[in-house]
Chains A and B, each alone.
Chain A
Amino acid sequence: MAVVVEGVHPTRMELLKLSRRTKLAEKGHELLREKRDALITEFLDVVEDVRGARKNVEAKLESAFRELTIAQAILGVNEVRQISWITPQEIFVDLDTRNIMGVKVPLIETGDITRSIMQRGYGFVDTSSALDRAAKNFEEALVSIVKLAETEETAKKLAAEIEKTKRKVNALEYIIVPRLVATTKYITMRLEEMERESFCRLKKIKAVLQRREIE
């Protein structure tokens, strides 16, 4: 049983105010429920993307490390390390934000990170094709890692917003609206009671007056 709002006067004015508030609360509840549902849909899609991206990253890194190990076996660990120093190490990412129902999530655009053999900067004579394959696989893995970072952060932020919205929806559904309904019911009953009381009083007065007239 919901608790009646404290300090309410059982008047018709208050009843009108309360019914307006109840309508507003119900509308707010419906809208927030729509938001929660939409957020959950978005979240499920993002989670699906995260799973796909993670699998992709793991597969790409696995093949990249296999090729790297082969290259290290052929050329030697130190030689591969020296070659890695020659290779340009910066990648350019365009970092911005987008908005999903008020949740600011990152938007990362990488463009084309993969380089041609010429762009990698090392010579062909003393190196192995396994090294080229490793570099290519690592570059492809980087694209997937950036995508994974974007989707994981999005999922985290959406989850936090779902939690907040759920709390608001539940507060409206289980506390505020029932309380307003209970108060409306209380005022209606109180007004009816007052009406009955005044009716009885009038009856009594009428009876007293009639008695006096007879006497």
Chain B
Amino acid sequence: MEKTFTKVVRSLNVHLPARRESLSTLLKEERPKVIGRNGSTHRFKNAELEQIAEIVPEKHHDRLKLPIYIELTPEFGRGAAKIHGRLHCDVVQSVLRMEREKTDELVIYRPEVRKLRRSLPTTTQYAFFYTPG
């Protein structure tokens, strides 16, 4: 049974890419995409990449890895999600029109997650995490 649970939890994240690509690399590609751990292709919309490129200064395009993970963890309560990384938080704050502050971690709630997903459906992805113990 334990094996089955571990398998179920692990299977929640098989769609995540084995390696995230930088914005600068993706902008150069004609068909920007990443390959998931299960071998599936996740294509980015060019319009979304351009939208992000306008938000993030060009000198940081190498450092911004895509897709942005919307981390869902039960420890924050139902529907709450976490965004990690300075540049990712910058993009999310800009898209959600939140007050811009320099932070490495941002907690957003369901209506904001929905708004973010509607604005950036291909450059964001859900990730499921849980802390053992």
A interface residues (Cβ-Cβ under 8 A, vs B) = 20-21, 24-25, 27-28, 30-35, 37-38, 41-42, 45, 94, 96-104, 107, 109, 168, 176
A39 to chain B, nearest CB (A): 9
With A30-B74, A37-B79 already in contact, the answer to whether A99 and B8 are too (CB < 8 A) is no
Asked if B78 and A99 make an inter-chain contact with CB atoms under 8 angstroms apart, the answer reads no
Asked if A31 and B128 make an inter-chain contact with CB atoms under 8 angstroms apart, the answer reads yes
**Chain B residues with Cβ under 8 A from A24's Cβ?**
2, 5-6
A-B contact pairs, 5 of them (CB 8 A): A20-B2, A98-B43, A102-B12, A102-B15, A104-B40
Asked if B41 and A96 make an inter-chain contact with CB atoms under 8 angstroms apart, the answer reads yes
Asked if A21 and B40 make an inter-chain contact with CB atoms under 8 angstroms apart, the answer reads no
The residue of chain B having its C-beta at the shortest distance from the C-beta of A44 within the complex is B114
B interface residues (Cβ-Cβ under 8 A, vs A) = 1-2, 5-6, 8-9, 11-12, 14-15, 31, 33, 36, 38, 40-43, 45-46, 72, 74, 78-79, 110, 113-114, 117-118, 121-122, 125-126, 128, 130
Report the separation of the CA atoms of residues A45 and B45 in the bound assembly, to the nearest whole angstrom.
18
With A42-B117, A45-B118 already in contact, the answer to whether A31 and B130 are too (CB < 8 A) is yes
Cβ contact of A107, chosen from B6, B11, B122, B128, cutoff 8 A: B122
**Chain A residues with Cβ under 8 A from B79's Cβ?**
34, 37
The residue of chain B having its C-beta at the shortest distance from the C-beta of A94 within the complex is B31
**Chain A residues with Cβ under 8 A from B121's Cβ?**
98
Cβ contact of B45, chosen from A35, A99, A109, cutoff 8 A: A109
Asked if A28 and B15 make an inter-chain contact with CB atoms under 8 angstroms apart, the answer reads no
Asked if B42 and A41 make an inter-chain contact with CB atoms under 8 angstroms apart, the answer reads no
Asked if A45 and B74 make an inter-chain contact with CB atoms under 8 angstroms apart, the answer reads no
B9 to chain A, nearest CB (A): 6
**Chain B residues with Cβ under 8 A from A101's Cβ?**
12, 15, 126
Asked if A96 and B14 make an inter-chain contact with CB atoms under 8 angstroms apart, the answer reads no
With A35-B12, A99-B42 already in contact, the answer to whether A21 and B1 are too (CB < 8 A) is yes
Asked if B130 and A38 make an inter-chain contact with CB atoms under 8 angstroms apart, the answer reads no
The residue of chain B having its C-beta at the shortest distance from the C-beta of A42 within the complex is B117
Asked if B122 and A41 make an inter-chain contact with CB atoms under 8 angstroms apart, the answer reads no
**Chain B residues with Cβ under 8 A from A30's Cβ?**
74, 130
The residue of chain A having its C-beta at the shortest distance from the C-beta of B128 within the complex is A31
**Chain A residues with Cβ under 8 A from B72's Cβ?**
31, 34-35, 38
A36 to chain B, nearest CB (A): 11
**Chain B residues with Cβ under 8 A from A103's Cβ?**
15
